[in-house]
A and B are shown apart, each in its own frame.
Chain A
Amino acid sequence: MDIDDILREVDPASQSIPAETRDLQALTRAWVSERSSPELLQYVHILPYPPIAPTTPVLTRRFPSVYSWPADGLFERINDRIKQQIERVEEMTGDMDPKTNFALIVIQTELERFKYLVRSYLRARIAKVFEKSIAATADLRARLSETEQAYATRHQALLHNHYLSSFLSAFPPTLQNLNDTAGNISMIETPDLDTAVFIRLLKETLVEGHGTDMDDDMDGKSGDIVILRWSDAKSLVDSGHAEVV
């Protein structure tokens, strides 16, 4: 730590939230959203910001989705840090100094917490891939990361082959597909977008919601917790006015 660091620490103007904390907030938000929303959300890392000329006014920029806040490679960054931290743990276990020992415990505890977050996030996504045959629709495929796409395709192929070998082969060829939409019933299971969710407003905004007996709107204040349909909440969440809780 040199004098500049010390000065920066005491200067309130530059006292912003450290990048690591911001990443943790972004990861946590992505995890909570994925756990609580009925449909599969955009994978956090494949949404790079469109290259923005520095002169573009902020308001006119198009944000692809709220999950792109950490678009500057959040997942890669966190994975890199986890790897580095594991290396550090390996180095630290070498020396048996009791003083560093406690620091090691703390680091390992935190490492486990991070790994849990990442794992639970990915598992929540895979669970949705399992339930809804997402590999079949192009729109949903675009929300997956590359590895998830490969996984979803392979899973779908395995499942179909298994069905084919066990019973579908006895059917006439026209009935062997898994993506029929004949008779107004689609075989592709889609999530119910009207499922209700809880959201927390992050900014003041107008909240509009569709109801059975009437359509409502209200002036929301930041910090409000609102129950409404996911189809109504999605635009608010996407624009960063709210987060799913």
Chain B
Amino acid sequence: MALSLPSGLVPTEVAFLCEMEMITIVPRQRLESIPMLSGKTPALRPPRRADLPLWLALLLKKQRRANIVPPPWLLPASLQEIVHLETNYDPEAFSPPPPPPMRSDGRGVARPYATTTRSGNEDKELILAPPFLPSCTQDAPSGYLPYHWLEIAETLLAHAADDIPNAPEVRALLRDLQEVRAAKMRASTRHLEGGGGVLNIRGVGAMELAESRGFVLGVVDGVRKLGASAEAGRREELERGDDEDESDDDMGL
């Protein structure tokens, strides 16, 4: 077959996506700018920090050409805050995603980083979304989990544990988070049984989605198929109801 994977991103593909996230590094060697397909890399001059895609940062890290600066949300204090938020604030919802990054335009106006409009070129507006938002660089806000949090944290712990302060504690906190959130993800299916049309799961992570995609979508589709005849009946009734209203109006009742 042309593609033997099921519909929807599988975890390895999510991991591939997360490697496009930008991350801050401290270079240990000079490296000239490299002309890449996704744009030129910044010239690396130790000890000036630079933002690079995660895959490149890991390559440099493995060759001991750079150290990785962990994103602020991966520090123990921030993770503790998020765990607190997840367990005490709302037993059903996930902790909120990071606010959209803003950037000054030099004239005193803060513009969202995500939208890129060039003057006179509005039709080419393209809204950036993860993994292209700078949610894992040193400027990222602490206390918020970005969309690719689990993958980034796992990768960094696996390949750059020496750059993360207090790695064992981070690992323990991440496990707590993972468990709390997995329970929420499972609980969210309770809303799906109700047969509502939309379900908002703001703040969920990419890997959590990939993990439970089959289950959640299976539940939704199963409920839909079971309730198909009831739904058809309800819609028919709605339509008939509208017609009756109109005829009532016509007769002036």
- Chain A residues with CB under 8 Å of chain B are 11-13, 15-18, 20-22, 24-26, 28-29, 32, 35-38, 49, 52, 54, 58, 61, 63, 69, 72, 78, 81-82, 85, 88, 99, 102-103, 105-107, 109-111, 113-114, 116, 120, 123-124, 126-127, 129-130, 194-198, 200, 202-203, 207-218, 220-229, 232, 240, 243, 245
Contact = CB atoms under 8 A, between A and B. Distances in A.
A208 B200 CA distance: 12
Contacts of A61: 123
B88 interface: no
Contacts of B59: 105-106, 109
A26 B103 CA distance: 22
Contact of A232 (B16, B195, B197): B197
Contact of A13 (B105, B126, B199, B209): B105
Nearest to A81: B37
Given A113-B16, A113-B55, A243-B129, 15 more contacts: A12-B103, A12-B105, A20-B36, A21-B132, A22-B116, A49-B123, A105-B59, A116-B16, A197-B217, A213-B195, A223-B202, A227-B199, A227-B220, A229-B224, A240-B127
Interface string B114-129: 1010101011111111
Interface stretch (B2-10, B172-180, B240-248): B2-10
A52 B234 CA distance: 44
A16 B200 contact: no
Contacts of B39: 18, 20-21
A196 B125 CA distance: 28
Given A26-B126, A58-B123, A196-B217, A223 B100 contact: yes
A196 B9 contact: no
A217 B56 CA distance: 43
B1 interface: yes
7 contacts: A15-B103, A102-B31, A106-B59, A123-B3, A126-B2, A211-B197, A217-B198
A245 to B, nearest CB: 7
Contact of B3 (A102, A124, A228): A124
Contacts of A197: 217
Contacts of B13: 35, 120
A225 B56 contact: no
Interface secondary structure of A, over-half rule: mixed
Contact of B8 (A17, A36, A102, A123): A36
Of the listed residues A21, A52, A116, the one surrounded by the most CB atoms of chain B closer than 10 A to its CB is A21
B166 to A, nearest CB: 30
A20 B20 CA distance: 13
Q: Which 7 A-B pairs have the closest CB atoms?
A: A209-B197, A212-B227, A213-B195, A211-B197, A216-B197, A212-B195, A209-B198
A225 B198 CA distance: 10
Interface of B: 1-3, 5, 7-9, 13, 16-17, 19-20, 31-32, 34-39, 41, 55-56, 59, 63, 97, 100, 103-107, 114, 116, 118, 120, 122-129, 131-132, 192, 194-204, 206, 209, 213, 216-217, 220-221, 223-224, 226-228, 230-231, 234
A58 B38 contact: no
Contacts of B31: 102-103
A29 B133 CA distance: 13
Contacts of B105: 12-13
Contacts of B118: 16
A24 B227 CA distance: 41
Given A20-B39, A32-B9, A194-B224, A218 B198 contact: yes
Contacts of B204: 225
A216 B206 CA distance: 25
Contacts of B227: 212-213
